[in-house]
A and B are shown apart, each in its own frame.
Chain A
């Protein structure tokens, strides 16, 4: 498995969905944390979807650590992804859900089970291993999904607003935990957000997406201190 994060390199990428088209060319260096911001419908989720392998690319290439993954299955790209919802199977226990991050099977070896338990302890869900997701709170469900991400050990982590449904305090808490998880795994991270200022402390760079145009990443502090016109309009004030 990988030590540390992966380099994401996107060249001449084009995604077409009916009338909508997304174009992107950019590179994210190893271990960087990037916020992806922009108005609704600009293509943020589409961008992460195509990187993750859930949306087909019409043209262009995606490389992770100089391996072309443009046509690779989602699980073979070295990319783990959390979605806005549906991150857990409701009929499986928390431990089974998390265990799927080790291997796509339900029966695990004793050593693998130990790793699952350790991951659950790490996110504070040690006591909830045998519960079904339906018996957990929203925050606990997010923790379970993060525990699985820990076990997936993917060099790249994509987050498509997985905490959008949580309240402000809980969201801050989950962002902090995510930050710790990313630090421990040294993964490269891209995270869609509606509130760039909220995550300014935990990201290095910011990618602004507007009307299908993906701007290359720029240092988040600089961009937010001195936003270009379109971003200023989006942020308001």
Chain B
């Protein structure tokens, strides 16, 4: 029997998948070994589960609810700065959480711009701390993501449909039912599911804005059990809860997840005869302005406050920045080394479903993995001395689902378009990678690596679990500065961290887009 010609081996991909599964399984087993010694579930644990689900639900609902009118406005208007705004919608994805939190504090915090305005009008002040603050921060991060996903869908509606709508003179209500509703029904469930899953494992937001019995996520509860009580048994129980909640949701979400697209280039605006009325134009302008302000004001405040704080930063900040750079570099290298062979395997697999491997990264939350690995390492070595490699590995696992979703479509395309030609010329194995695959995948690879680097450099998660006072990444250092009320220094660190994240993303992405090397 003749086999199908495979230009590249599947073995490295299978090895990568086994490694990933083993790393996650090892954490499970370690956690399982500790569960027995505990007193069972207390009220606090159930409260954490409930809060985790409730906040994720409202975060997803509000993010998508706000994203629909914003995407609709962006899809049918071109205000000045449109392209910039659409690009900026991608920024929160690579924005370090703690930087965003600082920006939100500057706007919505006790002495923030909002409360100053409210005070001037004689209104009572609002507090950003607690459940609504957690949801607010999640909406800040995920509304832009939802907007981009929905906007992609909107732009996929052929211009001809709107021409037909105009020809028939359909009223807005009918246009919505005939053209826009079918699209929303396709896109919205995916966006909701994705954001719900992302928010389930929220840690840094809950750490900074939540806390207390009414606003503690499971992820935060793991950290507290660990750091405050050093109760490994309870951390293990919480980790299992986290796995059940996030893993279950991730499995369900797998069916809804939208593909991640490398979106570039100028999109053409189909003329919208149906949206010429003054009232719709005003409405769209209001929504776009709202979205821009919601995104830009916190970022602007970070930059403004940061410029003042740069000189206040202790030398420790620069040292931790250097640490962050190499953690992110290591993490990105590891991600690429895992994602490329894994994607090559997935692209050639006859059966689907193996992609679920990558979701282990989402389902197994960072702190859960951290707890498991800590339990494994603890008897043999000081976990603090391994804080940075562990952080880099966990970050790589977290970025993996996104990287695979970015790489898989172009990988399939290259194999379809050039697999035959490569096979006919005897290009297989490494020469096929070097001569055909890597050059063709380069834009997607640069984009994925950029995301991974930015996510890693800004991550405040497992490092908080492992690190002792001598070791810190920049986000952790910034959190410590905030904790000791050195606000100016923290603001400076925030600006530095923001610059690092954007620079690392930009370097990788620009590498991907550079053509005609050599």
Which A residues are closer than 8 A to B by beta carbons? 50, 52-58, 70-71, 73-76, 80-81, 83, 86-89, 91-92, 100-101, 104-106, 152
Contact between chains at B420 and A54 (CB < 8 Å) = yes
Which residue of chain B is the closest to A81 with respect to CB atoms?
B424
Question: Chain B 1-18, CB within 8 Å of chain A: the 1/0 string?
Answer: 111110000000000000
**Which residues of the other chain, B, contact A56 by a CB distance below 8 angstroms?**
1-4
B431 and A104: CB pair below 8 A? Answer: yes
- Are A80 and B424 neighbours in the complex by a CB distance under 8 Å? yes
Is the beta-carbon distance between A53 and B436 smaller than 8 angstroms? no
* Chain A residue at smallest Cβ distance from B421: A86
Q: Inside 8 A of A88's CB, which chain B residues have their CB?
A: 421
Contact B440 A86 (CB under 8 A): no
- CB pair B5–A73 under 8 Å, yes or no, is yes
Which residues in A have their C-beta under 8 angstroms from that of B423? 53-54, 73-75
Task: Tell which of B421, B428, B436 touches A83, judged by Cβ atoms closer than 8 Å.
Answer: B421
Are A70 and B2 within 8 A (Cβ)? yes
Interface residues of B in 370-427 (CB under 8 A from A): 417-418, 420-421, 423-427
Which residues on B are within 8 Å of A, measured CB to CB?
1-5, 417-418, 420-421, 423-428, 431, 434-436, 439-440
List, in ascending order, chain A residues with CB within 8 A of B435's CB. 89, 92, 100, 104-106
CB distance from A78 to the nearest CB of B (A): 12
How many Å lie between the Cα of A53 and that of B6 in the bound state? 11
Given A73-B428, A87-B421, A89-B421, 15 more contacts at CB 8 Å?
Answer: A53-B424, A54-B423, A56-B4, A57-B2, A58-B1, A75-B426, A81-B424, A83-B421, A86-B417, A86-B418, A89-B418, A92-B435, A100-B427, A100-B435, A105-B431
Contact residue among B5, B418, B421, B434 (Cβ-Cβ distance under 8 Å from A53):
B5
Tell me, in angstroms, the Cα distance from A76 to B5 when the chains sit together.
Answer: 12
Q: A54-B420, A86-B418, A87-B421 are in contact. Are A74 and B5 (CB under 8 A)?
A: yes
B48 to chain A, nearest CB (A): 51
Contact present for B420 and A75 (CB under 8 Å): no
Tell me the minimal C-beta distance from B257 to chain A in angstroms. 30
Chain B residues near A50: list those with CB within 8 A: 2
Q: Which residues of B sit under 8 angstroms from A101, Cβ to Cβ?
A: 425
Contact residues in B for A58 (Cβ distance below 8 Å): 1
Chain A: minimal CB distance from B414 (Å): 10
Q: Is the CB of A76 within 8 A of B426?
A: yes
**Are the C-beta atoms of A104 and B2 separated by less than 8 Å?**
no
**Considering the chains assembled together, what is the distance between the CA atoms of A236 and B64 in angstroms?**
60
Bound CA–CA A58/B4 (angstroms): 12
When distances are taken between beta carbons in the complex, the residues of chain A under 8 Å from B436 are 89
For this complex, 20 residue pairs linking A to B, each with C-beta atoms less than 8 Å apart, are A50-B2, A52-B424, A53-B424, A54-B423, A54-B424, A55-B2, A56-B2, A57-B1, A70-B2, A73-B423, A73-B428, A75-B423, A86-B421, A87-B421, A88-B421, A91-B440, A92-B435, A100-B435, A104-B425, A106-B434
Residue of A nearest to B434 (CB): A106
Determine the chain B residues whose CB is within 8 A of the CB of A81 once the complex forms. Answer: 424
Q: A71 touches which one: B3, B420, B424, B425 (CB < 8 A)?
A: B3
Q: Are the CB atoms of A54 and B427 closer together than 8 Å? A: no
Nearest A residue to B1 via CB reads A56
Contacts A53-B2, A89-B436; A75 near B425 (Cβ below 8 A)? yes
Report the nearest A residue to B439, measured CB to CB: A91
Shortest 5 CB-CB contacts between residues of A and residues of B? A75-B426, A56-B2, A104-B426, A74-B423, A91-B439
Residues in chain A near residue B439, CB distance under 8 A: 91-92
Nearest-neighbour CB distance to chain A for B434, whole angstroms, equals: 8
Q: How far is the CA of A50 from the CA of B4 in the complex (A)?
A: 10
Q: How far is the CA of A75 from the CA of B420 in the complex (A)?
A: 10
In angstroms, Cα B418 to Cα A86, docked, is: 7
Residue with the highest number of chain A CB atoms closer than 10 Å, among B424, B427, B428:
B424
Q: How far is the CA of A89 from the CA of B424 in the complex (A)?
A: 13
Q: List chain B residues, Cβ under 8 A from A105.
A: 431, 435
Contact of A71 with B421 at beta-carbon distance under 8 Å, contacts A76-B426, A91-B439, A100-B427 already known: no
Q: How far is the CA of A101 from the CA of B427 in the complex (A)?
A: 10
Knowing A56-B4, A57-B2, A86-B418 are in contact, say whether A74-B431 is a contact too (CB < 8 A). no
Which residues of A are found within 8 Å of B428, using beta-carbon distances?
A: 73, 104
Q: Which residues of A contact B424 (CB under 8 A)?
A: 52-54, 74-75, 80-81
Given contacts A86-B418, A89-B436, A92-B435, contact A100 B425 (CB under 8 A): yes
Most central of B1, B417, B425, B428 by chain A CB within 10 Å = B425
A159 to B494, CA, bound (A): 62
A87 to B417, CA, bound (A): 9
In the assembly, what is the distance between CA of A56 and CA of B423, in Å? 14
Q: Taking CB as reference atom, which chain B residue is nearest A80?
A: B424
Shortest CB-to-CB span from A134 to chain B, Å, is 11
The residue in chain B whose Cβ has the minimal distance to the Cβ of A100 is B425
- Measured CB to CB, the nearest residue on chain A to B5 is A74
Chain B hits for A57, CB < 8 A: 1-2
Bound-complex Cα distance A53 to B5 (A): 7
Given A86-B420, A89-B421, A91-B440, A71:B1 Cβ within 8 A: yes
Collect the chain B residues with CB atoms within 8 Å of residue A89's CB.
418, 421, 435-436
Bound: A91/B410 CA distance, A: 15
Taking the closest CB of chain B, its distance from the CB of A151, in whole angstroms, is 10
A75 CB contacts on chain B under 8 angstroms: 423-426
Report the Cα distance A152→B291, complex, angstroms.
Answer: 59
- Roughly how many angstroms separate A160 CA and B320 CA in the complex, as a whole number? 61
Query: A222 → chain B, closest Cβ, in Å?
Result: 33
Q: Which of A58, A81, A83, A91 has the most CB of B within 10 A?
A: A91
A75 to B1, CA, bound (A): 18
Contact partner, A54, options B5, B418, B425, B434, Cβ 8 Å: B5
Residues of A within 8 A of B3 (CB): 56, 71
Distance in Å from the Cβ of B441 to the closest Cβ of chain A? 11
In the docked arrangement, what's the CA distance between A152 and B427, Å? 13
